[in-house]
């Protein structure tokens, strides 16, 4: 099984990077995981030129940066783990640039080209603020349609709010448990339902770490 971990944070070795390494370790059982940190990649933003709307649906920026290499890695993977923070209720700039550049893939699908059988996608998002109405909704909707262009769907999501406060949040995948410590207390951990609505709830002290992804 080929597992790809996409790190959407502009900050190396931050909270979501810790999340990714712990989750990926549980998914792989200690086996190899390909890791791509978007902050290390050169991804130019979409110019809205609409050149990709016409066949053969090629982006004029394709040979000038790393976006197509990331797309190829997604298409080749069996499982993709996406982790990123939430900035102003959306994805960070580098991650959003990658999502926007997938327009050329969407253009091909809308023109009748099969999307193919995409990978299983798991998404985990973290926000520094402890609460907010639909805090993760915009990011998850963007990711939903981004991965749909590859013929993939997000099989499971988990969200962690309040990671910027002094606290500790826990998560578990299969038999692998991970803890990220940020002092005393424990921020909120939530999930998103199928409509993308935030169902975040407080996790009482003393409650065991929650499974981050269901085994499906």
Residue 208 maps to a domain:
no
Show contacts of 208-211: CB within 8 Å, 24+ apart. 208/172, 209/170, 209/171, 209/172, 209/177, 209/178, 209/179, 210/170, 210/171, 210/172, 211/171, 211/172, 211/173, 211/174
Q: Look up the domain containing 27 and give its range.
A: 3-190
Residue 175's Cβ-side half-sphere holds a number of Cα atoms within 13 Å equal to 3
How many whole angstroms separate alpha carbon 196 and alpha carbon 199? Answer: 9
Task: Walk along the chain (216 residues) in steps of 10 and give the mean pLDDT of each run.
Answer: 92 86 83 92 95 92 95 94 93 96 89 75 87 87 93 87 57 36 34 38 34 36
CB-CB contact of 79 with 3 (8 Å): yes
DSSP for 3-16, please give it. Answer: EEEEE--SSTTSHH
pTM of the predicted model as reported, rounded to 2 decimal places: 0.75
- Beta pairing partners, 4: 34, 80
Residue 46 has what pLDDT? 95
Residue 204 maps to a domain:
no
Residue 167 has what pLDDT? 44
Q: How would you class 177 by CB atoms within 10 Å of its CB: exposed for 0-12, middle for 13-18, buried for 19 or more? A: middle
Residue 71 has what pLDDT? 95
Residue 72 maps to a domain:
yes
User: Which residues have CB under 8 Å from 36's CB, separation 6+?
Assistant: 4, 5, 6, 7, 70, 73
- Cis peptide leading into residue 80 (ω within 30°): no
Residue 60 maps to a domain:
yes
Residue 186 maps to a domain:
yes
Domain CATH code at residue 169: 3.40.50.360
Residue 165 maps to a domain:
yes
Residue 199 maps to a domain:
no
Total domains present in the chain: 1
Q: How would you class 58 by CB atoms within 10 Å of its CB: exposed for 0-12, middle for 13-18, buried for 19 or more? A: middle
């Amino acid at each position: 099984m080929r597992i790809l971990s996409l790190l959407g944070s502009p900050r190396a070795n931050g909270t979501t990077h810790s999340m990714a390494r712990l989750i990926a370790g549980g998914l792989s059982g200690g086996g190899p995981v390909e890791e791509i940190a978007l902050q290390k990649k050169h991804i130019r933003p979409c110019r809205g030129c609409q050149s990709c709307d016409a066949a053969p649906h090629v982006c004029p920026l394709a040979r000038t940066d790393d976006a197509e290499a990331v797309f190829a890695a997604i298409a080749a993977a069996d499982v993709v783990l996406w982790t990123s923070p939430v900035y102003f209720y959306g994805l960070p700039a580098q991650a959003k640039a990658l999502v926007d550049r997938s327009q050329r893939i969407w253009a091909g699908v809308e023109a009748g080209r099969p999307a193919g059988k995409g990978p299983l996608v798991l998404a985990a998002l973290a926000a520094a603020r402890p609460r907010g109405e639909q805090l993760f909704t915009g990011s998850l909707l963007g990711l939903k349609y981004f991965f749909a262009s590859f013929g993939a769907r997000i099989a499971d999501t988990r969200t962690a709010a309040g990671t910027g406060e002094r606290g500790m949040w826990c998560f578990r995948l299969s038999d692998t448990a991970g803890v990220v410590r940020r002092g005393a207390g424990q921020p909120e951990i939530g999930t998103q339902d199928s409509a993308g609505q935030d169902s975040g709830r407080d996790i009482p002290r003393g409650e065991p770490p929650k499974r981050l992804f269901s085994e499906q």
